[in-house]
Structures are given as structure tokens and as C-alpha cells.
């Protein structure tokens, strides 16, 4: 509707075209849905291309965030292991010092 193509809403609804299905449509499928105007198909295809690019950008950003979280988690885990080793060494040294006395 925001593209001023509301005349196709009923057919898209009748065919259960949702966002996921919409991204799969090409010129031939749009024509089969009753979109006979090449200008209307061009508008939809251009908008779909923009949407796909936005989705891809969002997906890449999500992957980047996940990689950063994983890197941070590993770093924290390494720090905990180092602290644990230091604590073990300190308690071991203290025990040896007590045993020597």
C-alpha cells in the first residue's frame, strides 16, 4: 500500500503472500499474481531488491555481533583460567611453606 499498489492487496492476501514469500517473487510470479503492469512489477522488484539488501546487511551485522560476543566470552574464560592457576599456585606455595616449617 505504501507503494500505491493497493489494487494487488486482495490477490496477494488470497494467495497467502507474506513477507517471506514476497522475497521469493520474480517478474514471472508477479505476473501470475495478476500484476500485468510492467511499471508496477518494476516498482515491486526494485523494492524487493532494497529489502533483500537490507536483510543481508542486518544478517552480516548480526554475525559480526555474534563473533564479537564469542571473542569476548573466550577472553573472559581465558582470564578466569589464568586467575584460577594463580590462585592454585599461591595456595600451593602457601601449603609448601607451611610444610617446610
* pTM exceeds 0.75 for this model: no
pLDDT at 97 over 80: no
**Would you give the distance in Å from CA 41 to the centre of its chain?**
28
Q: How confident is the model at residue 90 (pLDDT cuts 50, 70, 90)?
A: confident
If one counts the domains in the chain, the total is 1
Q: How confident is the model at residue 94 (pLDDT cuts 50, 70, 90)?
A: low
Question: Does residue 13 lie in a domain region?
Answer: yes
pLDDT at 93 over 80: no
Distance CA 14, CA 52 (A): 24
CATH number of the domain within which 39 lies: 1.10.150.50
The pLDDT tens digits of the residues spanning 9-24 come to: 888 889 998 888 888 8
Q: Which domain holds residue 77?
A: 7-84
Amino acid at each position: 500500500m505504501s507503494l500505491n499498489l493497493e489494487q494487488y492487496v486482495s490477490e496477494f492476501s488470497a494467495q497467502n503472500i507474506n513477507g517471506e514469500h514476497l522475497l521469493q517473487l520474480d517478474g514471472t510470479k508477479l505476473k501470475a499474481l495478476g500484476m500485468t503492469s510492467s511499471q508496477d512489477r518494476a516498482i515491486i522488484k526494485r523494492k524487493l531488491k532494497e529489502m533483500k539488501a537490507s536483510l543481508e546487511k542486518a544478517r552480516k551485522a548480526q554475525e559480526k555481533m555474534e563473533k564479537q560476543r564469542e571473542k569476548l566470552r573466550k577472553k573472559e574464560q581465558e582470564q578466569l583460567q589464568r586467575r584460577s592457576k594463580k590462585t592454585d599456585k599461591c595456595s600451593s606455595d602457601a601449603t609448601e611453606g607451611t610444610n617446610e616449617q
